[in-house]
Structure 1
Amino acid sequence: MMQNRTFGVRMFQAVNGLFLTALMALTLYPFVHLLSVSLSEGAEASRIGLHLWPRSFDWVAYREVLISELTWIGYRNTVLRTVIGTALTAALTAMTAYPLAKAYFPLRRTWIVLIVFTMIFSGGLVPNYLLIKELGLLNSLWALILPGLISPFSLLIVRNFFQSIPVSLEESARIDGASELTVMWRIVLPLSMPVMATIALWTAVGHWNAFFDAILYMTDKNKLVLQVILRKIILEHQMIGQYDGAGLNMRTAQEAVEAATIIISTLPILIVYPFLQKHFVKGVMLGSIKG
C-alpha cells in the first residue's frame, strides 16, 4: 500500500511537471515568436510558421524603431502618465479608503453606496468627452489621469484590507499621542504594502496599456502615448518612418517592425513586475497565517 501510494505520488508529480512545462511553453511562445521575428531580416520575418530563433539575424527593425522621434515621444508621454497616475491613484485611494474603514466615520454607508453606484452606472462616452472639453483638458496629460484617478473596485479592496488590521495597533498609537494621519502613514500603510503594491501594479499596467482615451482627447502628435503609436503600426499597417518622416529602410519587413515595437513597449512592465512580486508573495503568506 505504501509502495502504491508512493508510485501514485510520483506519477502525479511527473504529470503535473509535464503539464506546467507545457503551460509555460504556451505562455512564453508568443513572446519568443515576437522576439524572433523582430530580429529577423526581410523575407524571413514575413515567413509564415513557427519562429523560435531568427535564421537571418538582423537588428535593423530595432534600429528603425529607436531612431524614430515619435517612438521616444510616445515613451515619454506614457512614462509620465504611468508614474504620475499610479502615484496619485495609490495615495488618494489610501486616503479615501482609510476613513471609510472606520465605523465612526459619519454617513459611511451612504458614501459606500454612492461609490458602488458609480461602478454600475456611468455618464457615457459623449458626456465624458464634453466634460473633458469644458474643463479645458483636451491635449493635456491630466485628461488621461483625472477621469480614472480613483477606481471604486480598488477603493473597496483597500478599504476591506484596512478593516482587517487589528484596531489595537491604532489604539496604542493614539494613546502615545499619534494623530489620524500619523496612524495611517506609519501604522496602517506599512502593514498594507501587499494590497497597495497590487493596486499600484493594476494601475500602472492599466495606464501603460491604455490607448482609447488618448485617441479621444489627444490630437497633437507630441502628446501621443506609446500604445497609440503601436496601434497605428499594427492595425493601420503604417511604418514608423512613413508616419513621422524618419526615413524607414524599405527592406525592413512590416512584421519585423511591428514585433520590435511590441517588444520595446512591453519591456518596462516586464522589468517592473519582479520588484512588486515579493509583495504579492508576502500578501499570500500573511493571508495564510491569518487564515
Structure 2
Amino acid sequence: MERMKAIGLFPIFNTVLMLLLCFSVLYPFAYMLAVSLNEGTDAAKGGVYLWPRAFTFYNYEVVLGNDIIRRAYLITIARTVLGTIGGLAVTLLAAYALSYRLLPGRKWLLGYVLFTMLFNGGLIPFYIQIYNMGLVNSFWVYIIPFLFSAWNMFVMMKFIQGVPEALIESAEIDGANPVRVLWQIIIPLSLPMLAAIGLFTAVWHWNDWFAGAFYVSKQELVPVQTFLQQLLNAQDISQIMGQNDSTRGTERLAQTRNVTLMSIKMATVMVSAIPILCVYPFLQKFFVKGVLIGSVKG
C-alpha cells in the first residue's frame, strides 16, 4: 500500500518539478519581452514583470531604425546562412570520404582529426593563423575558420556507415560513381541528420559574439550578438552607435518617446533571439529524428 502511494506521488512531484523548470526558463524571456514592449521611463520605475504596463512599439522603432543595428543584423543573417551551408557541405564531404574503410591512410586521417578535436592550440596561435590568412577585419573570418567540425564529422561518418552496404554496392554495380552515390543515396537518407547538425550549426553562428569581439574591429562588420554585447556594457546610446545623423535621430526619438537604454537593450535581445526561435517548429521533426539516430548509431 505504501509502495502504491509512493508511485502515485511520483507523477505529481515530476509534474511540479517540470512546471518549475519551464517557468524558470520562460520567465526571463517573458520579462524581457514585457520590458521591451513597455515605455522605458515607465519600466524604470519597476513593477513590470510579465505584462507591459505602458504598451509601446517605440523601443523596436529605435532598434530597427538604426543603420548600425540593421547592418549588424544583415551580417548575422549572411554569416548564419553561408556558415551553415558551407559547414554542412565541408563536413559531409569529409565524413563521406572517411566512411570508406579502404581509403588509403584512413586511420592516420581519423587519428589526426581526433587529435584536433581533443587538443586545442589556444587563442593566440589561432589568432596568428587567422592574421596570416588575412581574415582579420574581414567578413570571411566568420565563415572559413569554422567550416569544419570534427565532432559533427564523426557523427555524420557513423551515420553514413550505418547505411546498408548492399544499397551502395547495387548502385555501384549499376555504374554509379561516388558523387552520384553521395547525391542520390547518402544525402536523401541523411536529411534528418543534416537537419539536426545544420540547426546546431546555425544556432552557434547566430549566437556567437566572440569572433566579432576579438577578430573584427570595424563596426560595420560586427554581428548582432557582438553589438548586443557592446550594448549591454554601454552607459549611453552614443557609445556604441557613434555620432552621426542616424544616431542623433535615434537619440531625439528616444527623448520624445520615453525610451531608455535598458528598454533598447531588451528590444535588441528580443530582435536577436526571436528569429532563431522561429526556425525550431519547422525543423523539429527532422531535428528529433536526427538526434535519436545519431545517439543510437554513434
| TM-score, normalising length: structure 2 | 0.88
Q: How far apart, CA to CA, are the structure 2 residues paired with 1:21 and 1:265?
A: 26
One-letter amino acid matched to 1:210 = D
Over residues 144-187 of structure 1, what are the superposed CA-to-partner deviations in whole Å (9 max), with x where a residue is unaligned?
Answer: 11111101111111111111221111112112221111111211
Over residues 9-43 of structure 1, what are the superposed CA-to-partner deviations in whole Å (9 max), with x where a residue is unaligned?
Answer: 66444443333222222211111000001111134
What is aligned with 2:250? 247
> 1:68·1:241 contact (CA, 8 Å) conserved in 2?
no
Tell me how far 1:55 sits from its aligned partner.
Answer: 1.0
Q: How far apart, CA to CA, are the structure 2 residues paired with 1:230 and 1:240?
A: 14
Q: How far apart, CA to CA, are the structure 2 residues paired with 1:106 and 1:289?
A: 28
SS at 1:247's partner residue? helix
* Residues 50, 25 of structure 1: alpha-carbon distance in 2 compared, 3 angstrom cutoff: farther
1:55-134 matches, within 5 Å, as: 55-134=53-132
What is aligned with 2:136? 138
What is aligned with 2:172? 174
What is aligned with 2:269? 262
Tell me how far 1:261 sits from its aligned partner.
Answer: 0.3
1:227-246 matches, within 5 Å, as: 227-239=225-237, 243-244=241-242, 245=247, 246=249
One-letter amino acid matched to 1:70 = I
Q: How far apart, CA to CA, are the structure 1 residues paired with 2:209 and 2:89?
A: 24
> 2:196·2:290 contact (CA, 8 Å) conserved in 1?
no
SS at 2:166's partner residue? helix
Tell me how far 1:217 sits from its aligned partner.
Answer: 2.3
Identity of matched residues, %: 38
What is aligned with 2:42? 44
- CA RMSD in angstroms comes to 2.6
> 2:36·2:59 contact (CA, 8 Å) conserved in 1?
yes
Alignment of 1:271 with 2:278, yes or no, is yes
What is aligned with 1:211? 209
Q: How far apart, CA to CA, are the structure 1 residues paired with 2:188 and 2:9?
A: 44
> 2:84·2:202 contact (CA, 8 Å) conserved in 1?
yes
Q: How far apart, CA to CA, are the structure 1 residues paired with 2:227 and 2:73?
A: 10
Q: How far apart, CA to CA, are the structure 2 residues paired with 1:237 and 1:175?
A: 68
* Residues 188, 60 of structure 1: alpha-carbon distance in 2 compared, 3 angstrom cutoff: same
One-letter amino acid matched to 2:119 = F
Aligned residues: 289
Choose 35-44 or 13-22, whichever is displaced more. Answer: 13-22
SS at 2:39's partner residue? coil
| TM-score, normalising length: structure 1 | 0.90
Choose 68-77 or 9-18, whichever is displaced more. Answer: 9-18
> 1:61·1:260 contact (CA, 8 Å) conserved in 2?
yes
Q: Structure 2: which 5+ runs fail to align?
A: none
> 2:231·2:240 contact (CA, 8 Å) conserved in 1?
no
